[in-house]
Amino acid sequence: MRELLPFRVEARDGNARAGTLQTPRGVVQTPIFMPVGTVGTVKSLMPDELEALGAQIILANTYHLYLRPGEPVLEQHGGLHRMMGWDRPILTDSGGYQFFSLRHLARFDRDGVTFQSHVDGSRHRFTPERVIDIQRTIGSDVMMVLDHCSELPAPRAALERAMATTTDWALRSLRHVVERPAERDGAVFAILQGGTEHDLRVRHRDELCAHEFDGFAVGGLSVGEAPAVMYDVLETAVPGMPQERPRYLMGVGRPEDLVAGIERGVDMFDCVMPTRNARNGGTFTRTGRLNMRNGRHRTDERPIDERCGCPACRRFTRSYILHLFRTNEMLGPRLVTLHNLHYYLDLVTEARAAIAAGRFASWAAETRSGWAAAGESS
Amino acid sequence: MRELLPFRVEARDGNARAGTLQTPRGVVQTPIFMPVGTVGTVKSLMPDELEALGAQIILANTYHLYLRPGEPVLEQHGGLHRMMGWDRPILTDSGGYQFFSLRHLARFDRDGVTFQSHVDGSRHRFTPERVIDIQRTIGSDVMMVLDHCSELPAPRAALERAMATTTDWALRSLRHVVERPAERDGAVFAILQGGTEHDLRVRHRDELCAHEFDGFAVGGLSVGEAPAVMYDVLETAVPGMPQERPRYLMGVGRPEDLVAGIERGVDMFDCVMPTRNARNGGTFTRTGRLNMRNGRHRTDERPIDERCGCPACRRFTRSYILHLFRTNEMLGPRLVTLHNLHYYLDLVTEARAAIAAGRFASWAAETRSGWAAAGESS
């Protein structure tokens, strides 16, 4: 039997959980949000800024890092941590989602995926074992198995085929780690598929959860379905997962999705929204969203959020940030990125404290009413 | 008589000087390089990063700030310092150089300049007095007078007309400050023109230096002439300027131009090169220039400069920086900007120490031989 990634649930409130993941590169307190550093940089930020924001773990991407900088460069650096100057844990996505979003460049078969690089059109092949090996080269602390994500809506038969492939590949990935262990292996998380068909989600969950994965992820959501539909799937699939294993909702989402996910027992999240929206001036705050490119901030001397202690809000006015966006200055996206990540990390920290105090429901209600109160009108 | 900006020359070595400028916002030790923050941000950096690099004074631009964010916004913030979060001195260029580089949009007359905004084509007018008033709104610590910079080569008659206008405007600027003092005025620097005609440079210097300006700038250089031509003009014009006043060479230049300028008695420099080149991967080092976009760095685990202590060189490899440029990541330009400014600021600090120690000539020779030794081949 494998020695599983140490994870302890410290408090429960309804389905919501507060836990601790013990990785060799440090502790991760859940629920947690993982800033996205696709190619080995959380856009515009230095690693010490991420640390100062309280980021405990970040996400990087196997597909993207395989293409650039490539395995030889990663290997030479002894992995991504040293290359990017980040000492805390890194979770790596497998590439499964990229083969979904770049599906015109990818062809699935029983054994793996043949694809063309979106960078230069060159041809490559990923198998479940290959993807584990690349993640080992990256030095990943949490490795995701290669999965097959379906476009929605999909016929049940297509969802079932993708599930069968995903299960087979998950087991192959696990077997590869068990039978050919590396000197130092990251944890292995399986990925649950099944689209928005509740019975398929349950069946796939039970299939995967019978095996010794370190954690279980919910994939194939936030691909166009309504939030309520996604929440229903989580409600069906997540609470029945093993209590003693971490659960990760992949690529989701808005602050309201994080609260809804935590409510349904999710422990880990990642999403490009706080960093991607930041590059267009989109901010997240306690009172909803604000766009820093909006001309009405022209003479507004308030910070993005008056109650926020992030490096942007401590020092700069909305007026200045609007000016930076109008003049296409890099500092604009950087300030909003700092603010948004601070907000997301703060949100999950608050959720954790509320769970520990047994007042998650009232915290969630207050948080939601804060967003509803104002938003763009603040 | 006006009370002039306190400036003390502490050491001389040949024509080179080490001095101290005492501004209400802090001391500036010369020779100094001023990072360029055209619209109120040194591209990609936070003010605390600039401070950590040892920047003592930065440059901002009256023309650009007048257009964006505009006087009302600057006024509301109580000036640029508070708006951009920078507490140390700011020198503001007058806009004269912008009317030269955007000359298709500007029309000079006896009294001032009528111009179209390069942003939206709207029409505006600057007079010498207006430009002082805008700089007061910015809260500038060193205000440059509006000047007329000539395209080179130019007929002598054209240079003489531009000089006459520049002198007239410089005296009007000074009179405006003296006769209608603001609550708190920055220093006023005159700008010397005259192209590459040595007798005109001498004549213009003597005209301007007869008046009570806080400092004297050399304008109209580095506009296409050969470096040796520029150095000869400096040799003619600078050493004869009043010893007890600071001298500023505007918009220049490469590290070798700084050394040549200091050698000829210049105290202050600004240039976009360290920040602009950084955005294309161009670095400056002790051993010459390196381009971080060059594929030969692909597996190079050395920092940009092994002897450099900047935040980029302390932590990141050339290989990683190349990767950031190849993937168009903002962190690439940011890291090279940090390195380049560190290099420029370090260079003037070293020059100052060499002057104080009476070994400027040997320091300059060593510095030059370092650049010559390697460069792109390192």
The 10s digit of each residue's pLDDT in A134-143 is: 999 999 999 9
Q: Phi-psi category of B26—alpha, beta or left, where left has phi over 0 and alpha has psi -120 to 50? A: left
Beta-carbon contacts below 8 Å between A and B: 100
Confidence of residue A378 (pLDDT cuts 50, 70, 90): very low
Q: Do the chains contact at B41 and A331, CB–CB below 8 Å?
A: yes
Distance between first and last Cα of chain A: 56
Q: Do the chains contact at B330 and A331, CB–CB below 8 Å?
A: no
Would you tell me the crossing angle of helices A227-237 and A198-209 to the nearest 10 degrees? 40
Q: Which residues of A touch B336 (CB under 8 A)?
A: none
For residue A257, list its beta bridge partners. Answer: none
Phi, psi at A233, each rounded to 5°:
-60, -45
**Sites in chain B below the pLDDT cut of 70:** 1, 374-378
In this prediction, residue A46 carries a pLDDT of 98
Q: Which residues of A touch B311 (CB under 8 A)?
A: 46
Q: Which residues of B touch A315 (CB under 8 A)?
A: 47, 85
Q: Is B270 a catalytic residue?
A: yes
Of A44, A85, A324, the CB nearest to B41: A324
ipTM: 0.97
- The chain-wide mean pLDDT, for chain A, equals 96
Reading the block at residue B376, the tokens are 């792109």
* pLDDT tens digits, B5-37: 999 999 999 999 999 999 999 999 999 999 999
Q: Do the chains contact at B73 and A323, CB–CB below 8 Å?
A: yes
Of A40, A44, A330, the CB nearest to B323: A40
For residue B318, the Cα-to-chain-centroid distance in whole angstroms is 29
Would you say residue A1 has pLDDT above 80? no
Q: Do the chains contact at B299 and A72, CB–CB below 8 Å?
A: yes
In this prediction, residue A377 carries a pLDDT of 42
A166: nearest Cα among A188, A132, A131, A190 = A190
Would you say residue A374 has pLDDT above 80? no
Q: Which residues of B touch A85 (CB under 8 A)?
A: 315-316
H or E stretch at A175: helix A156-179
Q: Give yes or no for B320 touching A (CB within 8 A).
A: yes
CA distances from B200 to B64, B163, B194 (A): 30, 9, 5
CA angle in degrees (0–180, nearest 5) for A86-A92-A98: 130
Mapped onto helix, strand or coil, the DSSP state of residue A329 is coil
Helix-, strand-, coil-residue percentages of chain A, each rounded to 5 = 45, 20, 40
Q: Give yes or no for A310 touching B (CB within 8 A).
A: no
Residues 6+ apart with CB under 8 A from B175: none
Q: Is A270 a catalytic residue?
A: yes
> Would you say A295 and A59 are in contact if contact means Cβ atoms under 8 Å apart?
no
The string of DSSP codes covering B350-363 is HHHHHHHTT-HHHH
CA angle in degrees (0–180, nearest 5) for B241-B245-B250: 75
In this prediction, residue B183 carries a pLDDT of 86
Confidence of residue A183 (pLDDT cuts 50, 70, 90): confident
Residues 6+ apart with CB under 8 A from A284: A255, A273, A274, A277, A339, A340, A343, A344
In chain A, the residue whose alpha carbon lies closest to the alpha carbon of B76 is A299
DSSP E strands: which ranges in A160-297? 187-192, 215-218, 247-249, 268-270, 282-285, 288-291
Catalytic residue among B93, B141, B185, B214: B93
Pairing assessment for the beta strands B106-108 and B247-249 based on DSSP bridges: unpaired
Pairing assessment for the beta strands B123-126 and B113-116 based on DSSP bridges: antiparallel
The amino acid occupying position A164 is A
In this prediction, residue B184 carries a pLDDT of 87
Catalytic residue among B214, B267, B270, B305: B270
In this prediction, residue A373 carries a pLDDT of 77
Of A72, A319, A331, the CB nearest to B69: A319
Q: How far apart are CA B305 and CA B299, in angstroms?
A: 15
Can you give the three-state secondary structure of A39-90, one letter per residue?
CCCCCCCCHHHHHHHCCCCEEEEHHHHHHCCCHHHHHHCCCHHHHHCCCCCE
Based on the number of CB atoms within 10 Å of its own CB, is B295 exposed (0-12), middle (13-18) or buried (19 or more)? exposed
How do the domains of chain A map onto residue ranges?
A: 7-271, 280-377
Would you say residue A132 has pLDDT above 90? yes
- CATH code that applies to domain B7-270: 3.20.20.105
Pick from A66, A138, A323, A334 the residue to mutate for testing the B interface (most B CBs within 10 Å). Answer: A323
> Would you say A253 and A272 are in contact if contact means Cβ atoms under 8 Å apart?
no
Mean pLDDT confidence for A71-80:
98
In this prediction, residue B373 carries a pLDDT of 77
Residues 6+ apart with CB under 8 A from B208: B167, B170, B190, B192, B216
For residues A77-111, b (16+ Cβ closer than 10 Å) or e, as one string? Answer: bebbbbbbbbebbbbbbbbbbbbbeeeebbebeee
- Domain A7-271 CATH (choose: 2.40.70.10, 3.20.20.105, 3.40.50.720, 3.30.390.10): 3.20.20.105
**CA of B76 vs chain A CAs: smallest distance (Å):** 7
Based on the number of CB atoms within 10 Å of its own CB, is B328 exposed (0-12), middle (13-18) or buried (19 or more)? exposed
Cα dihedral across residues B49, B54, B56, B57: positive or negative:
negative
Q: Give yes or no for B227 touching A (CB within 8 A).
A: no
pTM of the model: 0.97
Q: Do the chains contact at A331 and B72, CB–CB below 8 Å?
A: no
Q: Which residues of B touch A310 (CB under 8 A)?
A: none
Q: Do the chains contact at B330 and A330, CB–CB below 8 Å?
A: yes
Place of tokens 């001309």: A295
* pLDDT tens digits, A270-305: 999 999 999 999 999 999 999 999 999 999 999 999
